[in-house]
Amino acid sequence: MLLILLTIVFAVLRIIPGDPVAALFAGRASPEIVALTRHQLGLDQPYWQQYVNYLAQIFTGNLGTSIGESYHGKSVLTIILGKLPGTIELTIGAMIVATTVGIITGVVSGTNRDKPSDVALRLYYTLSIHYWKVVSTSSW
């Protein structure tokens, strides 16, 4: 599954229009600088070779360095690890809330089967699931 996901990410990043190096310099660099940067990043190699290098770097823990303005030159792994504590905190908080609400509403529905509270909760969750499916599949 991980290999399929990595392959899809690689393909999508190559299919979308635009050149990341040209976007990085926003037309302010000479063609020689753009070509040198493309060579340093390996973007001048054939796609199959870029893919092999990409997988080798991912599986060895080398996620590269950021070329963006906010984190220019920092290790991507360092950036991810810096954001990880906050992400874990939010995830645990959301899981606690979701579990608590799920257990409480499940108990209410289970003890009041086919009563108005059960029907209302089933209707609410059915509609909310359909709403989030629509929202998550719509294009912005």
pLDDT by residue (tens digit) across 53-64? Answer: 999 999 998 888
Tens-place pLDDT, residues 39-53: 988 888 999 999 999
User: pTM for this structure?
Assistant: 0.59
Separation between Cα atoms, residue 29 and residue 20, nearest integer Å: 13
Separation between Cα atoms, residue 81 and residue 52, nearest integer Å: 25
CA–CA distance from 61 to each of 57, 58, 76, 110 (Å)?
Answer: 6, 5, 10, 48
